[in-house]
Each structure stands twice: as C-alpha cells, then as structure tokens.
Structure 1
Amino acid sequence: MRELEDGVLVAAVAGEPSLVEFGLRSARQMVDVWPKSRLPLDWKGSSIWLTGLEERIADPSVLSGVVEQQISFHKLVKDPTV
C-alpha cells in the first residue's frame, strides 16, 4: 500500500490532478485485494487509510513542506556550483 500511497502523494506535490485521481482510483481498487501479509503492521483498515490519504492530498503545501524537510534531512540539496 505504501507504493500506491507514494504515487498519489508525489502526484499531488507535482500538481498533477489527473495522476492524483488515477492513483486514488487504483488505491480504491487495490485496497481490498492487497495481500494481508504485505499490509503495514500498523494497518487500521482500508477506509481509514483512504480517508487519511485523501486528507493529505487536500493541501499540497503541507506535502511540499514534507518534501523540503526530507531534502534537507537527507542532504539532497543540489550544489549550486555544479
């Protein structure tokens, strides 16, 4: 499920609404057939996960902040001299 989640979140940050909708449709289709053994240990149910995903994509500025934090944390800032 994390793979689907990442795809939707990346599309939201990139400002690609058609990809966001495609990702959400895929997530809704896959959520009930995903192997239980591959679900996260903290899985609380498909409706909770989908609602949380929809809430996170509702404000792309929050997602952009997360991306900026991760870039900084992992020291992925491009060297301006390159």
Structure 2
Amino acid sequence: MHAVVFVVGLVGNALVCAAVRRNHSMRTVTNYFIVNLAVADFMVILFCLAPTVAWDVTETWFMGTALCKIVLYFQLEEFLITD
C-alpha cells in the first residue's frame, strides 16, 4: 500500500505541476496555490514517506543519526501543522 501511495503521489503531483506549467491559461493565482500544495505534498512523500517505508520494511535505519533527526523533525512539523 505504501508503494501505491508513493507512486500515485509522485505521478499525480508531477502532473499537476506540469499541467499548470504547460498551459498558459492555467497560470492563475489559484492554480499557483494548488501547485504550491502539490510541491509540498511531493516533499512530504520524499522526505517522510520514503524513509519511513524503508525503516518499516528493513527494521533498520541506514541513513545515519543526522538524517534520523532531520526526518523526525519534518514528520513532527507536518503533524503539528496539520493538527
């Protein structure tokens, strides 16, 4: 299920950004806000979902102490912002 969310999230957000970039008529303030949300979601998928899935599957953290603290910070900030 994580893989499906990862792939659909990356592809879907990339398509949103590409659609607004290619079509000049879609370059409105509202669509720029939507692109901003797509980029933020893209970053959450890369910085939060990917390391968490790797850790859940292998039950080992391979990315070092510094990245462990950084990923935990990003995940905590995401929780506090959305809560």
Pair in the same fold by TM > 0.5 = no
Task: Provide TM-score, normalisation by structure 2.
Answer: 0.34
Answer 1 or 2: which has greater helix percent: 2
TM-score by length of 1: 0.34
